[in-house]
């Protein structure tokens, strides 16, 4: 089942809690998160965010600006925030989920009960890396290969890459031109995940604690930027425990 901007994986239509999942650059959220319901508790409905330019929204122009994307996605998601929810986002998705959470709070809507961010430096920190979204094609493909997030069989398939490159460039532009604006601080707990071999450093990950007055936790795993794939089961165990804690705290309130 799906609606504008969001999909509902599996058959848990009456689950009392939603985990809304934001994809990394170039990724289709339904594909990235399709296996998560098999591991997460049955009271959690996994809801991938449907981004323009991919999947069922492939005919739409992808976003090239994080704040514009956050405003549009916030509007699309708002009808589906009618039950307790948490956000999860990896890389680009981490920054998007953060900005959507801030917009919800500033507009008087409930913020997530927990924000899980993965593979991204804290948003207020400057980008240490060079701009790559407008590189010539050969150099841009080399950059994709270096990041190790695009399968070799896809990189070597000209037809697939012809479809994927505009989305990747748009997503990279959104990330690499993102400008953090000082604004409201979240109140929800934040949990940050990182890869020990990722370009995102320990300090950059730890700085997420400054974006919320709530509790902060950090977990690191072996792996590069896409540890979200190799460490999926470990991440889901921590997510399950964190979401269970959300339930307990909500009942106690």
> Residue 96: which of 189, 32, 25 has the closest Cα?
25
Pairwise CA distance, residues 66 & 204, whole Å: 19
Q: What angle do CA 228, 165, 10 make, to 5 degrees?
A: 45
> Which tokens is 34 given?
């399709």
> Residue 126: which of 178, 91, 60, 50 has the closest Cα?
178
Q: b or e along 211-240 (b: 16 or more beta carbons within 10 Å of the residue's beta carbon)?
A: bbebebeebbbebbbbbbeebeeebeebbe
> Which tokens is 78 given?
């708002």
2: phi > 0 → left, psi -120 to 50 → alpha, else beta; which? beta
Rounded to the nearest angstrom, the gap between the alpha carbon of residue 21 and the centroid of all alpha carbons in its chain is: 6
Active-site option among 7, 91, 97, 118 = 91
> Residue 226: which of 132, 135, 147, 131 has the closest Cα?
147
- Is 11 a catalytic site residue? no
DSSP one-letter string for 19-42: EEEEPPTT--HHHHTTTGGGTS-T
Pairwise CA distance, residues 103 & 74, whole Å: 7
The catalytic residue positions are 91
């Amino acid at each position: 089942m799906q609606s504008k901007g969001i999909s509902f994986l599996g058959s848990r239509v009456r689950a009392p809690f939603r985990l809304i999942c934001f994809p990394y650059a170039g990724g289709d959220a339904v594909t990235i998160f399709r296996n998560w319901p098999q591991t997460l508790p049955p009271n959690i409905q996994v809801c991938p965010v449907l981004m323009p330019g991919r999947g069922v929204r492939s005919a739409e122009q992808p976003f090239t600006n994080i704040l514009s994307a956050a405003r549009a996605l916030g509007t699309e998601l708002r009808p589906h925030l009618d039950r307790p929810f948490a956000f999860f986002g990896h890389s680009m998705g981490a920054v998007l989920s953060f900005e959507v959470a801030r917009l919800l709070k500033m507009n008087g809507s409930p913020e997530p009960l927990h924000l899980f961010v993965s593979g991204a430096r804290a948003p207020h920190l400057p980008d240490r890396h060079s701009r790559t979204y407008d590189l010539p094609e050969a150099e841009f493909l080399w950059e994709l290969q270096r990041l190790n997030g695009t399968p070799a069989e896809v990189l070597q398939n000209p037809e697939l890459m012809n479809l994927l490159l505009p989305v990747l460039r748009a997503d990279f532009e959104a990330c690499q031109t993102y400008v953090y604006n000082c604004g409201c601080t979240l109140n929800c707990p934040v949990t940050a995940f990182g890869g020990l071999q990722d370009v995102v450093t320990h300090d950059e990950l730890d700085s997420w604690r400054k974006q919320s007055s709530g509790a902060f936790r950090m977990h690191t795993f072996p792996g590069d930027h896409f540890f979200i794939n190799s460490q999926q089961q470990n991440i889901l165990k921590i997510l399950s425990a964190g979401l269970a804690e959300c339930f307990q705290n909500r009942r106690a309130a």
